[in-house]
Amino acid sequence: MAFKKILFIFIILISSCVDCLKVRPFHVDVEKRQRLTLSWDYDPDNVYFEVRAKVSPRAWLAVGFSDYGEYSNGDFCVFWTDSWGRRHFTDVYSDAMGAQLHVDQQQDCELTSVNQTASETVIQFSRKRSTCDERDYQLEEGTTHTLFVVGPGPLSGVEGQSLDGKNLYKNMVRLSLFPPHSGLEEPDVTQQRHVKTMEVLSEKVKVPARETTYWCVIRKLPDLEEKNHIIQYEAAIQEGNEDLVHHIEVFHCLAPAGVRLYKWEGDCDADGAPEQINHCKRVIGAWAMGSPPLTYPEEAGYPLGGKDFSPYIRIEMHYNNPAVTAGRVDSSGIRFYYTTQLRRYDAGCLELGLEYSPKMAIPPRMAKFELSGHCTAGCTSVGFPPRGIMVFASQLHTHLTGARVWTRHFRNGIELPELDRDNHYSTMYQEIRKLKRRVNILPGDELLTTCEFRTLDRKNATLGGYAISDEMCVNYIHYYPRTNLEVCKSSIDTDSLMTYFEAMHTTDLDETAPDKSVIDNYHSIRWTPITAAILRSLYQESPLSMQCNMSSGARFPGNWNNNPQVLITKPLPPKRDPCMLQGDDPEQ
C-alpha cells in the first residue's frame, strides 16, 4: 500500500513537470568557453528555455530581450537568491536609460526547475510568445536580440537593481528562436562517405586600408568530369578576421565550352579588371555575417561539373574595415560539400529587391523610411518554368541603417502568405533562413521586398551602393528547379527621378540641376519632413526600371523601362491581435 502511494505521488510530480523532461534541441554558447549556454524549444504558444551558467549558487542571472540589443527598455526574467537562501524568479523590465530593473506588475516568467551545485546553476523556464503585457517583448519569427546579465548575490530584491555595475557580466546574442523542427531530422551530410569537401578561398589578400573593399578572384576549379551536386556550404573565415569579412559570394563563370579564362585578382571595380569578369554572374554560394551553413533539401542540390561545364569561378569578398587599418591579410572563403549521388532537382539562387544604384535614397534624420524592390509579373513570366519554382530558403540583406525587411508574394493582384520577414533585422546576423514550408512561385507571380531604414544619426541622404555606409535592400532566395533568371530587381525610372530633382529646384529652391549626377542632386536637397514625404510619395507612385537578368548578366529580351509597379488588388487582412480579442464575446 505504501509503495502504491509513493508511486502515485511520483507520477503526479512527473506529470506536473513534463517540461522538466523536455529535450531542448536548439542551442547556443553565449560565452566561448561554454561557461554560459542557452538551449530552447518552442510550440505554437510558448518558448521553453534552459540556461546553464558556471556561477556561484548565490549569483543572480537575468535573461532578456530588446528590439535591437539595447539594455534600455528590455524585458527580463531574473533568477536570484535572497539573504535567507530563498530562490526567486521575477519578471522585470529595464528603464529607458537601461540603468535599472523594475518589477513588472504582470508576472509572465514561469520557472520550471532549478538545479544548483557549488559551481553551476541550471534553470529551466518558459515564456509565452505573446503575454499581452505592454512591458513584455513579443517573441516572434526573425532575429531575436537576447540579453544576458550575471551579477553577485545574494540580493535583498530586484526592484531598482543596477545594470551598470563593473562587477556585472553582460552579453548579447542574436538568435532565430523559431527555426524549423524539420531541420533537426536532417542527417549530417558532411559525415557521409560519398561526400567530398572543397574550399574556395581568397588566398593571402592584402586588404587595402579603406572602409570598403570588394576584392575579386578568378580561378579554375579542380577538374570535375562527372556532374556533382553541392548539398551544403558554409563560411571558412580566417581566424581573427571575423570582424573584417562582411560577406562573400562565389559566382560561376559561364564561359563557352573550351574557352580558357586566366587567373586574376584585384579590386572588382578596378580599371584594369579583365573583360572576362563579366562572364561570372551565376551565384553558386552566398554568405554574410551571422549566416549558419546552408543545407540543401534532400530533393535538390546545386550542380557542379560534368560535360561542357566551365570550370572557372569568381570569388567576391566584401571587406569592411571601418578603422582603415593597414597590413591586414585574409584567406577566407566558402567551404562546399558535394557528391556524385545526384538529387532530383538542380537548385539555384535568385536575387530580389532593389538595384544597387544611387537612385535609391533615404533622407537623413528619419525614424522610419521604407523602400521597396519589385519583381514583376513580366519578369517571372519569362524567367520561370510553367510549374514555377519552389523556394526553400531566404536571406534578407541590408547595410547599417536597415531595421526591418520582408518579402510579400502576389498572384493576379491577390496577396498570398509572406515569403519571409524580420522585424528586428541586424546586418550582423544575416541568416540564411530555411523556410518552414516550400513556397511555389508561378510565372506571372510578383514579389515585393520592402526594407525599413532608420537614419536618425545621418546628416545627409544615404544612397544605394556597395559601401557599408551606403544601403542595399535585397533578398537572396534559394529554390529549385534552377532557371536562367538570376536577378529580378528594380529601381525608380530615371525620367521620374529627374522630374523630381527639377521640382525640388523650382519649388524648394534646392541647387539641383539636370547636369548634376544623381548623387550630387540628392546631396543638394535641403532635407525636411516635407521633402522627405515628397520623395516617399515619388517612390510609391513612379514607374520602374527593371533588372530582369539572365545568369550571363544580360537582360531577358523585352522592354524593362517605364514598367508598372507590383499590382495589389487584395492585400492580406491585418493579423488579428489575440490581446485585443481577450475581452470579446466568442459568439460574435
The catalytic residue positions are 214, 397
Distance (Å, rounded) from C-alpha 211 to C-alpha 209?
7
Give the chain's count of helices (H) and strands (E). Answer: 5, 36
Task: Give the Cα-Cα-Cα angle 224, 226, 232 (nearest 5 degrees).
Answer: 70
Q: What ranges make up the beta strands (E) of 30-120?
A: 36-42, 46-53, 60-66, 75-81, 87-94, 101-103, 110-116
CB-based contact 57:117 (threshold 8 Å) = yes
Helix (H, G, I), strand (E, B) or coil at 165: coil
- Backbone phi, psi, residue 161, to 5°: -60, 130
Three-state SS annotation for 391-433: EEEEEEECCCCEEEEEEEEEECCEEEEEEEEECCCCCCCCCCE
CB-based contact 93:135 (threshold 8 Å) = yes
Burial of 16-34, coded b for 16+ CB within 10 Å and e otherwise, reads eeebeebebebeeebeeee
Closest to 352 (Cα-Cα) out of 334, 376, 385: 376
Strands 485-492 and 348-354: parallel
- Backbone phi, psi, residue 243, to 5°: -80, -15
Helix H or strand E segment including 440 = strand 433-441
Closest to 372 (Cα-Cα) out of 415, 397, 396, 405: 405
Distance (Å, rounded) from C-alpha 84 to C-alpha 365?
52
* Residue 364 CB neighbour total at 10 angstroms: 16
CB-based contact 487:474 (threshold 8 Å) = no
Distance (Å, rounded) from C-alpha 38 to C-alpha 416?
35
For 247, the grid coordinates are: 560577406
DSSP state of 244: T
Closest to 415 (Cα-Cα) out of 450, 385, 387: 450
**Taking the chain, what is the end-to-end CA distance rounded to the nearest angstrom?**
53
Distance (Å, rounded) from C-alpha 328 to C-alpha 241?
9
Closest to 235 (Cα-Cα) out of 187, 208, 202, 268: 202
CA dihedral 541, 543, 548, 553 (to 10 degrees): -110
CB-based contact 272:230 (threshold 8 Å) = no
